[in-house]
Structure 1
Amino acid sequence: MTVLRRRLWPILAATAVAIGGIAATGPAADAAPPSQDVYVAPYGNDHAAGDARHPVRTLARAQDLVRQRDHHLAADLTVHLADGTYRLDHPLTLDSRDSGSGGHQVVWQGSGKAVISGGKQVTGWHQVTGHSGLWAAPAPRGLSDTRQLYVDGVRATRAAGQVPVTLTKTATGYTAASDTLAKWPDIAGAEFVYTSGETLWNMVRDGLGQWTQPRCDVASASGTTVTMVQPCWDNSNKRVEFPDIPGRTVSMVGPGALTNGAHVTYMENARELLDTPGEWYLDRAAHTVYYMPRKGEDLHRADVEAPALEKLVDGRGTAAAPLHDVAFRGLQFSYATWLTPSSPEGFSEIQAGYTISGPTGYATEGLCGFQAGGQCPFGAWTKEPGNVAIDHGRDLDFSDDAFVHLGAAGLELGDGTQHTTVRGSVFTDISGNGVEVGGVDQALPTDDADVTRDVQLTDNHLYALPREFTGGVPIVNGYTQHDLISHNQIDHVGYSGISMGWGGWPDKIGSPATPNDSHDNTVSDNLITDYMQGLDDGGGIYTQGLTGSSMATGEKVTGNVIHTQFGLGKSVYTDNGCTYETVSGNVLYGASYANVASTHVDYRDALHNNDPTLISGNWWEQGDADGSNKGVVTQGNHLIASASDAPAGVVADAGLEPAYRSVLARRFAPVSVPVAPTRVATAVGASGTLYTAFNPTWADGGSPLLGYRVTAADPAGHTAATAFVSAADFAATALVRLTGLTDGVPYTVTVTAVNSHGDSAPSLPSAPLAPKAATAPAAAPTGLKLKAQATAATLDWTPPTVVGDSPVIGYRITVTDPSGSRTVDVAGRDVLVTQPSAHAMFRVLGDLTPGTPYTVGVAAVTGAGTGPAATVTGTTPAA
């Protein structure tokens, strides 16, 4: 802050007092009581009075002053934070003593440029002799470890790369083909990452479910023996299975062990992997930070921040003494980390950032009623913590805030949070979940003070997350009541957009969902787009478990606009045990194999009906006819052949309301290059050709993506072919064709994302693959269904079971009526992933004529050409 600003604030404050005196009578002005407000500034002095002329410096001192004044408030008490950075040595820990009183609030108020930081600046940079492009600096005092580093507000990448040696899985880790890893002096603490997902071409499927990305550290390496840390290794590989149900874990969520566990997708956090601009590494033993600057970065001038704290605000209310009547407005919460994944606990993921933890977590945690010694309730695994966390808070307000550059979840509104609002705020560049509401550790609270209810999340922008724990979700809502999640915009995210409920998995074995106290929750008028960019088996809005006690009290999903899904899933996903949900009046398109998935058996009685669900009045592509399927009622939905067929008013009303749309323009870092794409895979086509597919980046660096640059390298590392695909073309095709290669030579492929600032770092390479001429076409698809309406029809089919020597890269649809025929070529991400997963897919055929018979053929397209077609006939109803 400039000297002028320092002088100006007291002058303005004095002027304001003088103006107030003019507004009243002269004597009254002299008698006016002094302001109870507290003023804080980075240049303040904690020995000062804390008034406008003499601000204090730290939040801790401001808290002391608040506690002296907040007992009998006659008006709101505001803590005014001047612009600047407030570096915390300890979390701002609040309890009931920090609450408002007399119906008035304590308001922690900034202008949008007051940053509450848990970071430490890294200074003293110098070039490392003998290592071109590598710089080093002493780690700041008090920084023992961190998982993140930021350069001028741009997240750097922890040193990452492929495992340099072949591994064979053992009971405690791996046997390596050589002693390469044992020769790395920093191998303890290197992290193995297991990226999951549907098998795509020659990419191996790893992990603990398509929706997870577990991580475990290396404990040690000696010779060829690689030992992994405990309990992360056991919790990821010894999940107890039912003795009489082969392959079914007692958790009923994902496999019992790391699938194909000998294959580690990639590894992080070793100096030997530090080889790309934008990467960093903390040598904890030498207390040194290493970094390779990106083009244009000057470390002598850059603000380099290493997050040190794990919490910035820690609200510790209790059922008997809640934190209440507190507001946080116009504040930025930044530079906090989360170190548990770097500990022996690791990150043994279950779903949505929940993990299995503890020495016997695999056999006990959350397995109530299904395993001897199982902890209750079922499904109560370890929740990802929030860098800003509230427990038992009431009448709280987070408005116009920013949760950015964070290493865990952004904001955690834990058990007992009631009558709390989060409005007009931004959540981005967060390692895990954005907002967490409630929990799942109290299925049926016995005290109303422990119930989470009446929480409103409205008009927030959540985007470009998660950045580290890819299975994270922008909004995670557990067991709650009367919550409203409305008018938010969620875009460019790695997995599902909103996750509701919990505990429904027992229906996989014919048992009812875990009873819980959820009811009367509403998810309405949100705009969710470009979701599931990294993982699979999720949705724009995902719900599982009981949502109420009747259709009247069950969850309402209404007025949302959800489109442009990349991964395999649904627009609105009603998963195991999801009961009494209403899905009505939404606009749903661009999903892979369903707009609404709703049919699960209701095991609460012996009738074996389906979980009661109402699907009505939506504009969608699914095309299901009206009817009732044992409790699932479908009625009055509208088939759309394009987005323009949806009502303009419904579309315009979704997302941020007009008064809050300026939130979309807020930025917290300079424009930088995008983040690299992930999950690069290749397949053969014609002679000398490779097809390449990959997951796009969901963090564009602050500038829209222009496209992707694809490079094939030969075994010597020389570039053999390149191609560029625009972002729009890749969104339509989800693959790139590389030509001019030599058959029989194995090539690896890398991809960069390109924006106006330049190219991202290269992706991790694909597995080597040698081109060859594909000769065997795919068989015909199966299970064709034509759901015809007057002017459009939904066409469903199941991919062919035999695809020859090249995977399906598209479909050719032929539509024939008495006047002739036309062809429709189908491409996209769902084409690539539905075949190996055996999921059906669908397309809408538009421009049909009422009362007309049609014959529709579908043929699979591979690198070997177009295969035989399967056909279906139907007649459109009269208008």
Structure 2
Amino acid sequence: MTVRAPSSWPWRPLAALLCAAALLPLASQAQTLHVAPGGSANGACDASSPCNLQAAQAKVRAWRAQGRNDITVQLQSGTYRLQQPLHFDPADSGTNGHPVRWQAAPGAHPVLSGARLVQGARDGALWRFALPSDDAPSSVYVDGRRRWPARTRACPHCVVDAKGLSNVPPAILHVLQVGSVAAMHARWRDFHCRVIALGTDRVDLAQPCWHNATLDSRGNGWAVASPVGKYYGGVDWFENLSGDPLEPGSYTVDATHRTLRYRPLPGETSRAPSIELPVLEQLLVLKGTLKAPVHDLVFSGITFAGTDWRRAASGDGYVSLQAGYLVDGPRQGGLPDDGEGMTRIISAVDVQAGRDIVFDRDSFHQLAAAGITLAGGTHGGAVTNSRFTDLGGGGVFTGDTEGHPADPASKTSDIVVADNRIDHVALAWRDNVAIMAGFVNGLAIAHNTITDLPYSGISVGWGWNYEGTAPVESSIHIVGNRIERVMLQLADGGAIYTQAQSTPGTSCVVRNLTDMRHSGEGNGIYLDEHSTYFDVERNVVLGSWVSAWASWSGHLRIVDNWTDNAGGPHNAGPTKVWSPNFTQLKTLPAAALAVQQAAGAREGRPESALPIRVPSLCPQP
């Protein structure tokens, strides 16, 4: 006789659930790994025995190979001093709808650092530090504040010749050495070339750096904005000097003895000597291929800090074309008119051939070069709710420099850069901008707050007027950003700068606030050269106006914007619509005040959902 339990017995649903749970595949069970700065390579990666980053990465790869999903790596507070960059490839990927998450533990503030904490000794009025190599660091940090190498005063009368500079004053020449660096600028371009020989009143500069700095193109006139052009105003400074530093807060390097000498500020003299010495150039590199992208990854709540970049000390030096894109290698036939073939400034975080990669609520600071790049055929990427400050280069780079690639899949697409705060960047490489995009199909730059820059705030497009008549970009949406105090050192730029021809009906600049009243020379919105098929609507432009000067730009709608400027058409052209706009305003109307109030980074915005797609059509103005 079989006895059946009544269906109302309480254990039966529980038993059924337990049985079902036992049968669930591992892929559906969320798993968390725990990481700590002092974690062991052999740790269990659990809360009681956290492991290090490399062990967690190995475990993620093993789990993913087994088909497990919903993996989270939690980083506890502290500084993770990397001996080499973290490299991610397709084996580190999540799966559709189930990204692998690398994130701060609740309430934690993890820092991925490429710097070493170096203890020093007092040497009279100076502090002395042993260096791991004879290379001079581009900057160091004392109490979290950047300290620059010692610099000379400007040399406005230094004369340019084929080998370098003559008419160098004796007082400057006295402190120079082989390995010093000359820094100068012309309009929108920045140049840094190493000294390779000293004469009685001159210095020779490294090649091909100096050759490329003075090189022209066939038709674009790059030499106009170069040391041989009419805008050359002399050398801004020399750095990497010999002897002891004279100015408090500066340092020099004795390469022979691998020693850094620092002259402390008055408030630092009573403290034990220590510096943060940046060593690594990069912190995190994600690299896939077009056929096998690295994909479905989220990095959240992490600070990236402590990089160095010694490009200026190389033979190539730093020769900018525009906005962090550089000329390198021997150039025999002149610079390309369209700017293709350039090298992008290095970034602490670099994503190449990625898909659906998210950086949310992260922090980028104390970096020698740029913050983050998403390029090289990356399709689906987001940088949101993050903070960028104290960077030598720009904040966010995306897009590519080839307008018509043989494989269309190699052109980056569907990138979101939203609700970030970016200020005090491009401190070393002055032509850089807060957000720079080359050729890209699908880009939303929305509600960022951008301030205090030597050059432009947002720059999109590439190629000037040398890319033919077919569109080279599409769906460029620049919406709701707040930009002020830009163009503080360089010229010929603006708060928002565009280039190149877009697919008709897809690209726009709407509802932004650009305030140039406390900025340098520049435009509120600058539709430069071959900017084509952009709608510019309902923007508040203060202290400046919209420029669309080139006769080869066109199909532009510049309407319903508010400005305190006279606001006249700038080269009207047969396909440019310049009215109605609201100009010469003493006070802003309610609609303009609403745009002004809403512009900039918003608090509490959600992380980007996957997959990341930018709509083809612009949001309503």
- Which category of TM-score, normalised to the shorter sequence, fits these structures? 0.7 to 0.9
Change (3 A) 1:651 1:72: farther
User: Could you list the runs of 5+ residues in structure 1 that have no partner in the other structure?
Assistant: 1-23, 195-206, 243-247, 368-376, 507-511, 603-609, 662-879
Deviates more, 1:326-335 or 1:415-424: 415-424
Structure 1 residue identity aligned to 2:150:
A
- Distance verdict in 2 for CA 1:631–1:299, change over 3 Å: farther
Shift of 1:633: 0.5
Superposed counterparts of 1:22-421, under 5 Å: 28=18, 36-57=31-52, 59-71=53-65, 73-101=67-95, 103-111=97-105, 113-126=109-122, 128-129=123-124, 132=125, 134-139=126-131, 141=132, 144-162=135-153, 167-176=158-167, 187-194=177-184, 207=185, 209-240=186-217, 249=221, 251=222, 254-255=225-226, 257=228, 259=230, 263-272=234-243, 274-297=245-268, 300-301=271-272, 304-360=275-331, 363-367=333-337, 378-421=339-382
What per-residue deviation string (whole Å, max 9, x for no partner) do you get for residues 447-483 of structure 1? 3431211111111000112111111100001101121
Query: Does 252-261 or 99-108 show the bigger shift?
Result: 252-261
Match of 1:729 in 2: none
* In 2, Cα distance between equivalents of 1:649 and 1:499: 25
In the alignment, which residue of structure 1 is the partner of 2:530?
577
Q: In the alignment, is residue 549 of structure 1 matched against residue 503 of structure 2? A: yes
The answer (yes or no) to whether the contact 1:619–1:646 under 8 Å persists in 2 is no
Instruction: Measure how far apart 1:165 and its partner are.
Output: 11
Say which SS state the counterpart of residue 64 (structure 1) adopts: helix
CA distance in 2, matches of 1:323, 1:174: 47
CA contact (8 A) 1:365 1:381 kept: no
User: 1:142, 1:211 → 2: CA distance?
Assistant: 34
Once the two structures are superposed, residues 286-308 of structure 1 have per-residue CA deviations (whole angstroms, 9 ceiling, x without a partner) of: 11111111232257546521111
Task: Give the counterpart letter for 2:602 in structure 1.
Answer: E
Kindly indicate whether the alpha-carbon contact (under 8 Å) linking 1:179 and 1:222 is maintained by their aligned counterparts in 2: no
Measured against aligned partners, the alpha-carbon deviations of 1:729-773 in whole angstroms (never above 9, x if no partner) come to xxxxxxxxxxxxxxxxxxxxxxxxxxxxxxxxxxxxxxxxxxxxx
CA distance in 1, matches of 2:460, 2:232: 30
Aligned equivalent of 1:769: none
Return closer, same or farther for 1:513/1:160 CA change in 2, 3 Å cut-off.
Answer: farther
Which residue number in structure 1 is paired with residue 396 of structure 2? Answer: 435
What is the one-letter code of the residue matched to 1:93?
A: H
Q: Which amino acid aligns with 1:114?
A: P
Q: 1:489-568 to 2 correspondence within 5 Å?
A: 489-506=449-466, 515=470, 517-546=472-501, 548-550=502-504, 552-553=505-506, 555-565=507-517, 566-568=519-521
Gaps of 5+ in 2: 1-13, 607-621
2:55 partner SS = helix
Paired residues of 2:244 and 2:251 also in contact (CA < 8 A): no
Q: Give the Cα–Cα distance (whole angstroms) in 2 for the partners of residues 260 and 587 of structure 1.
A: 31
Structure 1 letter corresponding to 2:65: H
Relative to 1, partners in 2 of residues 1:499 and 1:253: Cα closer, same or farther, differing over 3 Å?
A: farther
CA separation of 1:113/1:539 partners in 2, compared to 1, >3 Å: closer, same or farther? same
Q: 2 CA distance for matches of 1:51 and 1:143?
A: 41
Paired residue type of 1:96: P
Shift of 1:639: 2.5
Distance of 2:130 and 2:362 partners within structure 1: 33
Structure-2 residue corresponding to 1:855 = none
- Distance of 1:516 and 1:145 partners within structure 2: 45
Q: Equivalent of 2:539, from 578, 586, 591? A: 586
Question: Quick one: structure 1 residues 281 and 299, their matched pair in 2 at CA, closer, same or farther if it must change by over 3 Å?
Answer: farther
What per-residue deviation string (whole Å, max 9, x for no partner) do you get for residues 806-842 of structure 1? xxxxxxxxxxxxxxxxxxxxxxxxxxxxxxxxxxxxx
- 1:257 aligns to what SS in structure 2? coil
- Distance change (3 Å), C-alpha of 1:168 and 1:556: closer
**SS of equivalent to 2:266:** coil
Look up the match of 1:635: 579
Whole-angstrom CA distance in 1 between matches of 2:161 and 2:408: 48
1:650 corresponds in structure 2 to 595
Distance in 2 separating the partners of 1:271 and 1:381: 33
Contact 1:481/1:519, CA 8 A, preserved across alignment: yes
CA distance in 1, matches of 2:171, 2:600: 52
Are residues 292 and 48 of structure 1, via their aligned partners in 2, closer, same or farther at CA, if it must alter by over 3 Å? Answer: same
Query: Quick check: 1:396–1:420 contact (8 Å CA) kept in 2?
Result: yes
Q: 1:237 to 1:625 in 2, by over 3 A?
A: closer
**How has the CA–CA distance of structure 1 residues 290 and 165 changed in structure 2, closer, same or farther, with 3 Å as cutoff?**
farther
Q: Tell me which residue corresponds to 2:431.
A: 471
Residues in 2 aligned to 1:166 and 1:529: alpha-carbon distance in whole angstroms: 33
The DSSP-based 3-state class of the residue aligned with 1:42 is strand
Question: Relative to 1, partners in 2 of residues 1:160 and 1:35: Cα closer, same or farther, differing over 3 Å?
Answer: same
Write out per-residue CA displacement over residues 650-677 of structure 1, whole angstroms, 9 at most, x where no aligned residue: 111111224259xxxxxxxxxxxxxxxx
User: Structure 1 vs Structure 2: percent identity of aligned residues?
Assistant: 30
- Cα separation, 2, equivalents of 1:433 and 1:187: 30
Separation in 1, partners of 2:224, 2:232: 17
| Structure 2 SS opposite 1:296 | helix
Note closer, same or farther for the CA distance 1:513–1:587 as it changes in structure 2 (3 Å cut). farther
* Among candidates 593, 604, 609, match of residue 659 of structure 1: 604
Q: Give a deviation string over 1:576-626, Cα, whole Å, max 9, x none.
A: 0111111001111112xxx11124223xxxxxxx51110111111344479
Counterpart contact for 1:73–1:100, Cα < 8 Å: no
Partner-residue secondary structure (3-state), 2:301: strand
Does the aligned pair in 1 maintain the 2:438–2:462 contact within 8 Å?
A: yes
How many Å apart are 1:115 and its aligned residue?
0.4
Which residue identity does 2:410 align to in structure 1? D
Alignment of 1:689-708 (within 5 A): none
Q: CA deviation at 1:524?
A: 0.2
> CA distance change for structure 1 residues 90 and 639 in 2, over 3 Å: closer, same or farther?
same
2: CA distance, partners of 1:517 / 1:653: 31
What residue is the counterpart of 2:556 in the other structure? 613
CA distance in structure 2 between the partners assigned to 1:135 and 1:638 by the alignment: 59
Offset at residue 174 of structure 1 (A): 3.0
Deviates more, 1:40-49 or 1:296-305: 296-305
- Structure showing greater Rg: 1
Give the alignment's TM-score, normalised by structure 1.
0.62
For residue 462 of structure 1, the aligned residue among 402, 417, 422 is: 422
**Alpha-carbon separation, structure 2, partners of 1:634 and 1:533:** 28
The residue aligned with 2:6 is none
Alpha-carbon distance, 1:486 to partner: 0.4
Distance in 1, matches of 2:109 and 2:379, equals: 28
Distance 1:625 1:215 in 2: 39
Q: Aligned partners of 1:89 and 1:322: how far apart in 2? A: 26
CA separation of 1:378/1:349 partners in 2, compared to 1, >3 Å: closer, same or farther?
closer
Does the aligned pair in 2 maintain the 1:514–1:545 contact within 8 Å? no
What is the DSSP-based 3-state SS (H/G/I as helix, E as strand, rest coil) of the residue aligned with 2:38?
Answer: coil
